[in-house]
A = this chain, B = another copy of it.
Amino acid sequence: MAAAWDGFKGRLWKEEVNVRDFIQNNYTPYDGDEKFLVGPTDATNKLFDKLQELQKAEHNKKSVGKDGKERIGVLDMDTSIVTGLTAHKPGYIDENLKDLEKVVGLQTDKPLKRAFMPFGGIKMAEQSCEQYGYTPDPELHKIFTVYHKTHSDAVFDVYTPEIRKVRSSHILTGLPDTYGRGRIVGDYRRVALYGIDALIKFKEADKAAIGDGTMTEEVIRLKEEVSEQIKALKGMKEMAALYGFDISKPATNAKEAVQWLYFGYLAAIKTQNGAAMSIGRVSTFLDVYIERDLKAGVITESEAQELIDHLVMKARMVRFARIEAYNNLFSGDPIWATLEVGGLGQDGRSMVTKNDYRFLHTLENMGPSPEPNMTVLYSKRLPENFRRYCAHISIETSSIQYENDDVMRPVWGDDYSICCCVSATQTGKEMQFFGARANLAKALLYAINGGRDEADGLTPGVQVGPEYAPITADVLDASNYKEVERKYVAMLEWLADIYVNSLNAIHYMHDKYYYEAAELALEDTDLKRTFATGIAGFSHVVDSLSAIKYAKVKVIRGDVEVKNKKTGEVVEVVKNLAKGFEVEGDFPRYGQDDDRADDIAVWLLKTFMGMIKKHPTYRNAEPTTSILTITSNVVYGKATGALPDGRKAHEPFSPGANPSYGAETKGLVKSLNSVAKLPYHYALDGISNTQTINPSALGHDKTEQVDNLVNVLDGYFDIGPDSGHTGAHHLNVNVFGVEKLKDCQAHPEKPEYANFTVRVSGYAVRFINLTKEQQDDVIARTCHAAL
């Protein structure tokens, strides 16, 4: 290790796996400006041109599915190779340009070719091929049905009829029962710092230390898991060897550090297609290697930037085979390769390094891009130069998001990564049992309708929830608000129960059939596990309750025919279900900085989180919740009838914790204030807020715009005693006008729109890659014309 670690300070990290300690002992904070940055190298330009060609070919490639339907967006797929660490021969962006690639490694043997990943679910893997006109090898079907059971099949084996019903009605949606749960960030830096051989030794010592000899199920399971991790580590070495690298020993320079780290990540994306495949907090870490090489004169700034550009290029190339239904939920091929810059150390020092600039600068060197999902861990204590540079990049590219380091650091320390779009996780020390979302707006309708799915639901009139007494009043107002609240609470209790238990089944089976050995090999053996539930329809519940409490809501009732799903035959007619609502009078809304509404918001969050906490969780995972929906707000809305806040049936929900469309009548700052009142510690999985600001609202010129955006961010994320904020957690910043969106929708072929990136909710997409429906939704969102 001596040579590889030459010049590095500290002791703890040498004696145990402790990347944080290495970083804290060795990083060089940078508070200068961006002037040191350099443009792309020739190699970068050539490779990126090639990648652009490939992406264009992919975007335009038309495939005809087995169902006869034409689909676009898939360049190539595997049909006979089961993905694995060493399943493919080495692949390059371009065989003829491979010497230019400073960071090598593809998921398959060809760029943008999608691997066959059956372990999560064979049906899904097959469908994802067939919908794009590919035919998977029938032998694989036999292997993954007769010989090896897949995660999805196992989950459905244990689902109760009740769980199947809540899935069908979509009061629970997006459950990771047909895809990988993801949201695990391997500490890929470990590969660079320690090399695989040392990591194997540490894991072997860990394995030997599990339990006192009594073979409880917990002990047996963990021992087997660590065995699988050790096999995965050995597999990583073989994988790297295919590309001509020996990663058994630590990286000795910056180039190797980037390459080793990427091999760690590559192992993850070769073996798992998770809900999110974050890269993690790698910037400051890599800066240590680059600084050493710069000081030693063995690397130039241009070479340093090239390494980062090439690493980022690889992150832009990650693809998974996906079915249409998934694409409808999350358009634009997102993989949430989330990567952080910024943040402060626990000792108060800024962790911003030159490398944080380099990562952001990739958005200039190679233009805007949704991936990697670039995230600034924000604090007003970050160097002003850096905050201004971030604002500049936001204004130019709308490709970055901000998260409040000041609320996360006390919980997760100073070495957390974002494991999905916005959710924090301690790097290398934690995994998440991802749980998608419960539709709390639908639950309000269930409370009103005694557990029956509403007329405009996906399973109209069906008794999905418990048959509690419905609310029979024709007018809902202050006089019966308590009844509404009481019945809603009862229905939420039921929902929290079935939600947690569905997730318990899912994660038990995920561990059993689709264990993330490669990712968890790069995490501590003694893991913390969080149990990440989520809320959808948040703003609509708050506004609906506010409407009832402060105005008058007339209930429009009607009969609903319950039909047999297969035959279409009417099996029951349900009388007097609430089918719509008419609001009379004004009421305070969430997003107006009005405590009357915002108090309901806080109450809702606390109430639901409290219910989740009551239930036993698989492996005693720590329950958390989130208010984030990514783009699924559209699909959730589609499955939900009209609401008492005036939202019509099937209309999209507002995304994440955003106020409802049309509610933000008092300007951006008031809107931000409402969201910032939600206590972060009740929603540790994240509170996502997406805002679009018209450039002109920010200022007349670039400097003014930067000034103002920094002010907005400083203000929003301030949780000081005078701020009134308890938890401002996340902000997506788009800087463009609605006209640009409309023009892009009308003329997607214009070259300037090829990479036009829009932050939607916790992630970004190329606007042209969204479905028409989702584009409409983005256009409908509030674009603040004034602060």
* Contact status A615-B214, CB under 8 Å: yes
Tell yes or no: A764 within 8 A of B by CB.
no
Chain B residues in 8 Å Cβ range of A215 = 158, 500-502, 504-505, 508, 618
Q: A-B pairs with the 7 shortest C-beta distances?
A: A157-B227, A215-B504, A148-B148, A158-B223, A215-B501, A220-B508, A215-B505
Type the 1/0 row for A124-162, where 1 means its CB is closer than 8 Å to any CB of B. 000000000000000000011011100000100110111
Chain B residues in 8 Å Cβ range of A508 = 215, 217, 220-221
Tell yes or no: A96 within 8 A of B by CB.
no
* Contact status B616-A216, CB under 8 Å: yes
Task: Please pick, from B214, B228, B504, the residue contacting A157 in the complex, using a CB distance under 8 A.
Answer: B228
Chain B residues in 8 Å Cβ range of A216 = 504, 616
Interface residues in A192-230 (C-beta closer than 8 Å to B): 208, 213-217, 220-221, 223-224, 227-228
Tell yes or no: A264 within 8 A of B by CB.
no
| Chain A residues within 8 Å of chain B by Cβ, number | 38
Tell yes or no: A693 within 8 A of B by CB.
no
Name 17 extra pairs, CB < 8 A, besides A214-B615, A214-B616, A215-B500. A143-B148, A147-B148, A154-B224, A157-B228, A158-B220, A158-B227, A161-B208, A215-B504, A215-B505, A216-B504, A217-B217, A217-B508, A217-B618, A220-B504, A220-B505, A224-B509, A512-B512
Report the Cα distance A509→B217, complex, angstroms: 10
Interface residues in A140-195 (C-beta closer than 8 Å to B): 143-144, 146-148, 154, 157-158, 160-162
Rounded to whole Å, the gap between the CB of A314 and the closest CB of chain B is 26
* Contact status A84-B146, CB under 8 Å: yes
Report the Cα distance A744→B504, complex, angstroms: 63
Rounded to whole Å, the gap between the CB of A398 and the closest CB of chain B is 42
Type the 1/0 row for A532-567, where 1 means its CB is closer than 8 Å to any CB of B. 000000000000000000000000000000000000
Report the Cα distance A148→B223, complex, angstroms: 18
Q: Which among A82, A224, A616 has the highest number of chain B CB atoms within 10 Å?
A: A224
Tell yes or no: A497 within 8 A of B by CB.
yes
Report the Cα distance A489→B474, complex, angstroms: 79
Tell yes or no: A275 within 8 A of B by CB.
no
Task: Please pick, from B143, B214, B497, B498, the residue contacting A147 in the complex, using a CB distance under 8 A.
Answer: B143
Q: Which residue of B lies closest to A230 (CB)?
A: B157
Task: Please pick, from B213, B505, B618, the residue contacting A501 in the complex, using a CB distance under 8 A.
Answer: B213
A residues neighboring B (CB under 8 Å): 82, 84, 143-144, 146-148, 154, 157-158, 160-162, 208, 213-217, 220-221, 223-224, 227-228, 497-498, 500-502, 504-505, 508-509, 512, 615-616, 618
Q: Which residue of B lies closest to A223 (CB)?
A: B158
**Copies per assembly:** 2
Q: Which among A157, A502, A504, A512 has the highest number of chain B CB atoms within 10 Å?
A: A157
Task: Please pick, from B144, B213, B618, the residue contacting A497 in the complex, using a CB distance under 8 A.
Answer: B213
Q: Which residue of B lies closest to A159 (CB)?
A: B223
Chain B residues in 8 Å Cβ range of A224 = 154, 157-158, 509
* Contact status A162-B504, CB under 8 Å: no
Q: Which residue of B lies closest to A154 (CB)?
A: B224
Chain B residues in 8 Å Cβ range of A147 = 82, 143-144, 147-148
Report the Cα distance A221→B509, complex, angstroms: 9
Q: Which among A144, A160, A509 has the highest number of chain B CB atoms within 10 Å?
A: A160
Report the Cα distance A84→B508, complex, angstroms: 27
Report the Cα distance A214→B160, complex, angstroms: 11
Chain B residues in 8 Å Cβ range of A223 = 157-158
Chain B residues in 8 Å Cβ range of A220 = 158, 504-505, 508-509
Report the Cα distance A224→B208, complex, angstroms: 31
Chain B residues in 8 Å Cβ range of A213 = 160, 162, 497-498, 501
Rounded to whole Å, the gap between the CB of A518 and the closest CB of chain B is 14
Rounded to whole Å, the gap between the CB of A289 and the closest CB of chain B is 35
Report the Cα distance A481→B218, complex, angstroms: 41
Task: Please pick, from B143, B500, B509, the residue contacting A143 in the complex, using a CB distance under 8 A.
Answer: B143
Q: Which residue of B lies closest to A84 (CB)?
A: B146
Q: Which among A161, A213, A220 has the highest number of chain B CB atoms within 10 Å?
A: A220
Report the Cα distance A214→B616, complex, angstroms: 8
Q: Which among A158, A160, A217 has the highest number of chain B CB atoms within 10 Å?
A: A158
* Contact status A214-B501, CB under 8 Å: yes
Q: Which residue of B lies closest to A228 (CB)?
A: B157
Chain B residues in 8 Å Cβ range of A157 = 223-224, 227-228
Q: Which residue of B lies closest to A617 (CB)?
A: B215
Chain B residues in 8 Å Cβ range of A502 = 215
